[in-house]
Amino acid sequence: MRRLFYRGILADRVVIEGADAHHLMHVMRARCGQELVVVDDEGSVARMEIVGFSADAVHLRLVERFDADTEPPVHIALAPCLLKGEKMDLVVQKAVELGAMEILPVESANCVVRYDVKKREARAARWQKIADEAAKQCGRSARVIVHSIRDLRAFLQEMQAHTLIFCYENEQQMPLKESLRTREDSRYAILIGPEGGFSLDEAEQVTAAGGVSVTLGPRILRAETAALAALAALQYEKGDLGS
Ligand code: SAM
Protein backbone atom coordinates (compact mmCIF):
# COMPACT_ATOMS: atom_id res chain seq x y z
CA MET A 1 0.00 0.00 0.00
CA ARG A 2 1.36 3.41 -1.01
CA ARG A 3 2.76 5.47 1.89
CA LEU A 4 2.99 9.22 2.17
CA PHE A 5 4.14 11.77 4.73
CA TYR A 6 1.51 14.32 5.75
CA ARG A 7 2.93 17.65 6.83
CA GLY A 8 0.64 18.06 9.83
CA ILE A 9 -1.13 15.96 12.48
CA LEU A 10 -3.46 13.09 11.54
CA ALA A 11 -7.21 13.70 11.97
CA ASP A 12 -10.46 12.01 10.84
CA ARG A 13 -10.26 14.05 7.65
CA VAL A 14 -7.03 15.07 5.95
CA VAL A 15 -6.41 17.04 2.75
CA ILE A 16 -3.30 16.23 0.73
CA GLU A 17 -2.00 19.03 -1.46
CA GLY A 18 1.12 19.89 -3.47
CA ALA A 19 3.41 17.33 -5.09
CA ASP A 20 1.85 14.38 -3.27
CA ALA A 21 -1.62 15.35 -4.48
CA HIS A 22 -0.35 15.83 -8.02
CA HIS A 23 1.38 12.44 -7.93
CA LEU A 24 -1.73 10.70 -6.65
CA MET A 25 -4.06 12.31 -9.19
CA HIS A 26 -1.94 12.48 -12.33
CA VAL A 27 0.71 9.77 -11.96
CA MET A 28 -0.95 7.12 -9.82
CA ARG A 29 -4.42 8.05 -11.17
CA ALA A 30 -5.80 7.21 -7.74
CA ARG A 31 -9.54 6.65 -7.34
CA CYS A 32 -12.04 7.12 -4.50
CA GLY A 33 -12.09 4.09 -2.25
CA GLN A 34 -8.39 3.39 -2.60
CA GLU A 35 -6.42 3.30 0.65
CA LEU A 36 -3.04 4.78 1.61
CA VAL A 37 -0.75 4.59 4.62
CA VAL A 38 -0.28 8.11 5.95
CA VAL A 39 2.48 9.11 8.42
CA ASP A 40 2.20 12.49 10.13
CA ASP A 41 4.78 14.84 11.62
CA GLU A 42 4.59 13.10 15.00
CA GLY A 43 5.15 9.62 13.55
CA SER A 44 1.50 8.56 13.93
CA VAL A 45 0.51 6.10 11.22
CA ALA A 46 -2.94 5.36 9.81
CA ARG A 47 -4.72 3.66 6.97
CA MET A 48 -6.74 6.32 5.13
CA GLU A 49 -9.29 6.09 2.30
CA ILE A 50 -9.54 8.49 -0.63
CA VAL A 51 -13.01 10.05 -0.46
CA GLY A 52 -12.75 12.88 -2.95
CA PHE A 53 -10.73 15.19 -5.17
CA SER A 54 -10.71 18.92 -5.79
CA ALA A 55 -8.69 20.98 -8.27
CA ASP A 56 -5.32 20.36 -6.64
CA ALA A 57 -6.07 18.34 -3.52
CA VAL A 58 -6.97 14.81 -2.45
CA HIS A 59 -9.40 14.30 0.43
CA LEU A 60 -8.83 11.39 2.81
CA ARG A 61 -10.86 9.75 5.57
CA LEU A 62 -9.17 8.03 8.48
CA VAL A 63 -9.93 4.31 8.47
CA GLU A 64 -7.67 2.93 11.16
CA ARG A 65 -4.71 4.13 13.19
CA PHE A 66 -2.06 1.51 13.81
CA ASP A 67 1.26 1.15 15.51
CA ALA A 68 3.94 0.72 12.87
CA ASP A 69 6.94 2.23 14.52
CA THR A 70 9.86 1.38 12.28
CA GLU A 71 12.20 3.95 13.79
CA PRO A 72 15.43 2.80 15.48
CA PRO A 73 15.87 3.09 19.28
CA VAL A 74 18.87 5.41 18.77
CA HIS A 75 18.95 8.71 16.94
CA ILE A 76 21.68 8.67 14.31
CA ALA A 77 22.67 11.69 12.25
CA LEU A 78 24.86 10.85 9.27
CA ALA A 79 27.21 13.66 8.22
CA PRO A 80 28.87 12.86 4.90
CA CYS A 81 31.25 15.45 3.49
CA LEU A 82 30.22 16.45 -0.02
CA LEU A 83 31.04 13.85 -2.65
CA LYS A 84 31.38 14.09 -6.41
CA GLY A 85 28.64 13.25 -8.88
CA GLU A 86 25.72 11.11 -7.81
CA LYS A 87 27.49 9.48 -4.87
CA MET A 88 25.58 11.61 -2.37
CA ASP A 89 22.32 10.38 -3.91
CA LEU A 90 23.35 6.81 -3.11
CA VAL A 91 24.48 7.67 0.43
CA VAL A 92 21.21 9.51 1.18
CA GLN A 93 19.00 6.74 -0.16
CA LYS A 94 20.83 3.94 1.67
CA ALA A 95 21.17 5.94 4.89
CA VAL A 96 17.38 6.27 5.05
CA GLU A 97 16.94 2.52 4.57
CA LEU A 98 19.55 1.84 7.25
CA GLY A 99 17.74 4.03 9.79
CA ALA A 100 19.53 7.39 9.88
CA MET A 101 17.18 9.99 11.35
CA GLU A 102 18.79 13.01 9.73
CA ILE A 103 21.47 13.73 7.16
CA LEU A 104 23.81 16.69 7.41
CA PRO A 105 25.92 17.31 4.30
CA VAL A 106 29.23 18.92 5.31
CA GLU A 107 31.58 21.01 3.19
CA SER A 108 35.19 20.36 4.27
CA ALA A 109 38.63 21.46 3.05
CA ASN A 110 39.22 18.54 0.69
CA CYS A 111 35.76 18.44 -0.90
CA VAL A 112 36.20 18.46 -4.66
CA VAL A 113 32.72 19.87 -5.29
CA ARG A 114 32.01 23.51 -4.47
CA TYR A 115 28.42 24.77 -4.81
CA ASP A 116 27.15 28.34 -5.03
CA VAL A 117 24.09 29.32 -2.98
CA LYS A 118 21.63 28.36 -5.71
CA LYS A 119 23.25 25.00 -6.34
CA ARG A 120 23.41 24.28 -2.59
CA GLU A 121 19.67 24.78 -2.28
CA ALA A 122 19.01 22.67 -5.38
CA ARG A 123 21.20 19.82 -4.12
CA ALA A 124 19.59 19.86 -0.65
CA ALA A 125 16.13 19.77 -2.27
CA ARG A 126 17.18 16.89 -4.54
CA TRP A 127 18.54 14.88 -1.62
CA GLN A 128 15.40 15.55 0.45
CA LYS A 129 13.28 14.18 -2.40
CA ILE A 130 15.48 11.08 -2.56
CA ALA A 131 15.17 10.69 1.22
CA ASP A 132 11.36 11.03 1.09
CA GLU A 133 11.08 8.42 -1.66
CA ALA A 134 13.41 6.05 0.21
CA ALA A 135 11.41 6.55 3.42
CA LYS A 136 8.18 5.66 1.61
CA GLN A 137 9.79 2.63 -0.04
CA CYS A 138 11.26 1.17 3.14
CA GLY A 139 8.28 2.03 5.32
CA ARG A 140 9.78 4.57 7.70
CA SER A 141 7.36 6.00 10.28
CA ALA A 142 9.15 9.32 10.44
CA ARG A 143 10.35 11.68 7.76
CA VAL A 144 14.17 11.77 7.47
CA ILE A 145 15.38 15.36 7.21
CA VAL A 146 18.24 16.29 4.90
CA HIS A 147 19.67 19.53 6.22
CA SER A 148 21.24 22.30 4.20
CA ILE A 149 24.96 22.10 3.49
CA ARG A 150 27.10 23.52 6.30
CA ASP A 151 30.86 23.84 6.80
CA LEU A 152 32.76 21.69 9.27
CA ARG A 153 32.99 24.35 11.95
CA ALA A 154 29.23 24.98 11.92
CA PHE A 155 28.58 21.23 11.97
CA LEU A 156 30.78 20.72 15.04
CA GLN A 157 28.92 23.45 16.90
CA GLU A 158 25.61 21.69 16.24
CA MET A 159 26.76 18.31 17.50
CA GLN A 160 27.01 19.10 21.21
CA ALA A 161 24.07 16.81 22.09
CA HIS A 162 25.43 13.91 20.07
CA THR A 163 28.23 11.40 20.53
CA LEU A 164 30.25 12.24 17.45
CA ILE A 165 31.81 9.19 15.79
CA PHE A 166 34.65 10.56 13.67
CA CYS A 167 35.61 8.00 11.00
CA TYR A 168 39.20 8.98 10.39
CA GLU A 169 41.34 7.22 7.81
CA ASN A 170 44.53 7.88 9.79
CA GLU A 171 43.21 6.51 13.10
CA GLN A 172 45.31 3.51 14.08
CA GLN A 173 44.27 2.75 17.67
CA MET A 174 40.53 2.90 18.31
CA PRO A 175 38.29 0.46 16.37
CA LEU A 176 34.67 1.55 15.90
CA LYS A 177 33.48 -1.61 17.68
CA GLU A 178 35.60 -0.86 20.76
CA SER A 179 34.50 2.78 20.87
CA LEU A 180 30.87 1.70 21.08
CA ARG A 181 31.22 -1.19 23.51
CA THR A 182 30.86 0.81 26.72
CA ARG A 183 28.51 3.50 25.41
CA GLU A 184 24.77 3.67 26.11
CA ASP A 185 24.14 7.00 24.39
CA SER A 186 20.88 7.75 22.59
CA ARG A 187 22.10 10.29 20.03
CA TYR A 188 25.02 9.64 17.68
CA ALA A 189 26.47 11.50 14.72
CA ILE A 190 28.79 9.85 12.18
CA LEU A 191 31.22 12.08 10.31
CA ILE A 192 32.65 10.78 7.02
CA GLY A 193 35.25 12.60 4.96
CA PRO A 194 35.23 13.34 1.21
CA GLU A 195 37.23 11.46 -1.43
CA GLY A 196 40.32 13.43 -0.35
CA GLY A 197 39.87 12.65 3.34
CA PHE A 198 40.41 15.03 6.25
CA SER A 199 43.30 17.44 6.71
CA LEU A 200 45.36 17.13 9.90
CA ASP A 201 44.01 20.46 11.03
CA GLU A 202 40.41 19.27 10.53
CA ALA A 203 41.12 16.08 12.45
CA GLU A 204 42.43 18.16 15.35
CA GLN A 205 39.33 20.42 15.17
CA VAL A 206 36.99 17.41 15.28
CA THR A 207 38.70 15.68 18.21
CA ALA A 208 38.99 18.99 20.09
CA ALA A 209 35.22 19.34 19.67
CA GLY A 210 34.72 15.92 21.28
CA GLY A 211 34.70 13.72 18.20
CA VAL A 212 35.68 10.09 18.92
CA SER A 213 38.28 9.21 16.28
CA VAL A 214 37.76 5.61 15.10
CA THR A 215 39.09 3.30 12.46
CA LEU A 216 36.82 1.19 10.26
CA GLY A 217 39.61 -1.34 9.75
CA PRO A 218 42.83 -1.83 7.78
CA ARG A 219 41.47 -0.98 4.33
CA ILE A 220 40.78 2.53 3.01
CA LEU A 221 37.09 2.52 2.03
CA ARG A 222 35.54 4.82 -0.53
CA ALA A 223 33.64 7.58 1.28
CA GLU A 224 30.26 6.22 0.22
CA THR A 225 31.25 2.73 1.41
CA ALA A 226 32.54 4.09 4.72
CA ALA A 227 29.35 6.07 5.36
CA LEU A 228 27.10 3.06 4.89
CA ALA A 229 29.42 0.61 6.64
CA ALA A 230 29.75 2.84 9.71
CA LEU A 231 26.00 3.48 9.84
CA ALA A 232 25.19 -0.21 9.47
CA ALA A 233 27.73 -1.16 12.15
CA LEU A 234 26.39 1.43 14.59
CA GLN A 235 22.83 0.37 13.88
CA TYR A 236 23.81 -3.27 14.41
CA GLU A 237 25.57 -2.55 17.71
CA LYS A 238 23.15 0.00 19.16
CA GLY A 239 20.08 0.12 16.95
CA ASP A 240 17.69 -2.31 15.34
CA LEU A 241 19.59 -3.60 12.35
CA GLY A 242 19.45 -7.37 12.50
CA SER A 243 17.15 -7.36 15.49
N1 SAM B 1 42.18 10.33 0.91
C2 SAM B 1 42.22 9.40 2.03
C3 SAM B 1 43.46 8.54 2.00
O4 SAM B 1 43.92 8.25 0.88
O5 SAM B 1 43.87 8.13 3.06
C6 SAM B 1 41.02 8.48 2.00
C7 SAM B 1 39.73 9.12 2.30
S8 SAM B 1 38.44 7.92 2.24
C9 SAM B 1 38.27 7.70 0.54
C10 SAM B 1 37.00 8.92 2.61
C11 SAM B 1 36.54 8.86 4.04
O12 SAM B 1 36.07 7.55 4.35
C13 SAM B 1 37.57 9.15 5.08
O14 SAM B 1 37.80 10.52 5.26
C15 SAM B 1 36.96 8.50 6.30
O16 SAM B 1 35.94 9.32 6.84
C17 SAM B 1 36.33 7.24 5.71
N18 SAM B 1 37.19 6.07 5.78
C19 SAM B 1 37.60 5.32 4.75
N20 SAM B 1 38.32 4.27 5.18
C21 SAM B 1 38.39 4.36 6.53
C22 SAM B 1 38.99 3.59 7.56
N23 SAM B 1 39.68 2.47 7.30
N24 SAM B 1 38.87 3.99 8.85
C25 SAM B 1 38.17 5.12 9.15
N26 SAM B 1 37.56 5.90 8.22
C27 SAM B 1 37.67 5.52 6.92
Co-location of 214 and 168 in the same domain: yes
**Strands across the sheet with 3-5, in order?**
3-5, 35-39, 45-54, 57-66, 13-17
CA distance linking residue 131 with residue 96, whole number of Å? 6
- Segments forming the whole domain that contains residue 81: 75-238
Atom of ligand 1 nearest to the CA of 193: 14
What is the mean predicted confidence (pLDDT) over 170-179? 97
Q: Are 47 and 190 in contact (CB under 8 A)?
A: no
Instruction: Name the nearest CA neighbour of 229 among 165, 146, 153.
Output: 165
Res 226: pLDDT: 98
CA 137 – ligand 1 centroid, Å: 30
Which residues contact residue 148 at a Cβ distance below 8 angstroms, ignoring those fewer than 6 apart?
105, 120, 121, 124
At residue 25, φ and ψ (nearest 5 deg) are -75, -45
Best residue among 166, 220, 222 to mutate for probing ligand 1's pocket (most ligand atoms within 8 Å of CB) is: 220
Co-location of 33 and 116 in the same domain: no
What is the mean predicted confidence (pLDDT) over 177-194? 95
What is the mean predicted confidence (pLDDT) over 49-72? 93
Residue nearest to atom 5 of ligand 1 (CA): 169
Split into its structural domains, the chain has a count of 2
Question: Among 28, 44, 66, where does a domain finish?
Answer: 66
Question: Residue 223's domain is classified under what CATH number?
Answer: 3.40.1280.10
At residue 129, φ and ψ (nearest 5 deg) are -65, -40
Res 67: pLDDT: 84
Residue 61 near ligand 1, beta carbon < 6 Å: no
Res 90: pLDDT: 98
Q: Does residue 1 have a pLDDT over 90?
A: no
Q: Are 238 and 188 in contact (CB under 8 A)?
A: yes
Co-location of 200 and 135 in the same domain: yes
- What is the chain's length? 243
